[in-house]
Amino acid sequence: MRSYSIALIPGDGIGIDVIKEGKKVLDTLCSLDGGIKMDYRTFDWGCEYYLKTGRMMSETGLDELKDVDSIYLGAVGYPGVPDHVSLWGLLLPIRRKFEQYINLRPVKLLRGIQSPLAGRTAEHLDFTVIRENNEGEYSSIGGRMYEGTEMDLAIQSAVFTKHGVERVLRYAYSMANKIGKPKRLTAATKSNGINHTMPFWDEYVRKINLEYPEVETEITHIDALAAFFVTKPDVFDVVVASNLFGDILTDLGAAIVGGMGIAPSANINPDRKFPSMFEPVHGSAPDIAGKGIANPTAAIWCAGMMLEHLGEHALANILMEALQQVLEEGRMVTPDLGGTATTVQFGEEVCGKIKRLG
């Protein structure tokens, strides 16, 4: 029996709804396989927990998570708790403590989804953004001074280290080296305007490129790159970006392949010293929370990425096939995709397909 321990952190808002459907899909796959068992442990951490306890996760939270095989998370953050408090209290400490320095974010048009980019089909929209996930612009170094005076100011430092930059670049290059012909890597920069960290980043791109001479490299300014996502998305294979640039690019990436309800992400600790975490790119969507209409596609796709990470490739393939069949049929899709189905109906439809495929 292959057995995996999975920490479920549904979190806030629609995170709770979409993880429920993702778990249903996993349960359905396991019931068909027979030789696999998932041991779930659910954590009720998030903004409600914070309002009750003053903490986003239990004091020993990171310790409770450290030995699981994977973490499956919905979304963190909700009105009522300042976003920087909620995110620095739960999501960001997990990414950092568990050295999940790779954030893998596929930008891929699934079957059954129409891109808002005219004339663009699956052959044009299939690349991966590798987002640096542990340092960069997301640093707590800085502070506020002279508050309440005319000199009121805030400073936030960005931290780019040789260690942090080299490891994300090596990962991205090795991925570009494995896929595609020609082998292409695009590195996001802003070295024209940001004159310390970004020239540093570019320098390491050129250095690591020497280790992968077959990979054609473009270093592209983030502003131009954002436009190219829309005007020529077909030129990308692997895009590597700093933490903040990767964050912004991947909401845009989500938009060009059908919207926030679609895009998955995997926070990977490549060394496998710590658990990796799988979560949609989207947030808790307070504007639709409680309505039961969130699209669970991203969360279900994340479950597929988690299965891949666990080595369960056959199950991941069935999941992706079932998901795309539901999207292609279009009968049971959520309002963001033009349908009238609820989150639960969509999830159950995917489970039904899995049973037929299994």
Cβ 145 vs Cβ 153: under 8 Å? yes
Of the residues 33, 218, 234, 336, which one makes contact with ligand NAD according to CB under 6 A: 336
Stretch that binds ligand NAD, among 77-85, 161-169, 226-234, 319-327 (CB under 6 A): 77-85
Among 159, 219, 260, 344, interactor with ligand NAD by CB under 6 A: 260
In the list ligand IPM, Mn ion, ligand NAD, none, the entry touching 301 (Cβ below 5 to 8 angstroms by class) is none
Interaction of residue 282 with ligand NAD, rule CB under 6 A = yes
| Interface residue with Mn ion, options 126, 247, 312, 348 (CB under 5 A) | 247
Total site size for Mn ion, rule CB under 5 A: 1
In this structure, the chain runs to a length of: 358
Task: State in angstroms the smallest separation of the CB of 90 from ligand NAD.
Answer: 8
User: Sign of torsion, CA 105 106 112 113?
Assistant: positive
Q: Choose among 284, 312, 290, 282: nearest CA to 6.
A: 312
Three-state SS at 177: helix
- Should residue 102 be labelled a site residue for ligand IPM when binding is judged by CB under 6 A? no
Q: Is 149 exposed, middle or buried (0-12, 13-18, 19+ CB in 10 A)?
A: exposed
Q: Is 197 in the site for ligand NAD (CB under 6 A)?
A: no
Q: What are phi and psi of 65, to 5 degrees?
A: -90, -20
Question: What is the number of other CB atoms lying within 10 angstroms of the CB of residue 287?
Answer: 8
Query: Which x/- pattern, by CB under 6 A, does the window 237-276 give for ligand IPM?
Result: ----------x-----------------------------
Locate tokens 């909620």: which residue? 86
| Interface pick for ligand NAD out of 197, 276, 295, 342 (rule CB under 6 A) | 295
Question: Does 76 engage in binding with ligand NAD (CB under 6 A)?
Answer: yes
Alpha-carbon distance 326 to 216, whole Å? 37
The bridge status of strand 36-42 relative to strand 142-145 is unpaired
Alpha helix (H) residue ranges in 179-221 = 197-211
Is residue 279 within the footprint of Mn ion (CB under 5 A)?
no
Task: Specify the amino acid at residue 130.
Answer: I
Contacted entry of ligand IPM, ligand NAD, Mn ion, none for residue 128, CB cut-off 5 to 8 Å set by kind: none
Q: Where along the sequence are the contacts to ligand NAD (CB under 6 A)?
A: 14, 18, 75-78, 83, 87, 91, 260-261, 279, 282-288, 294-295, 298, 336
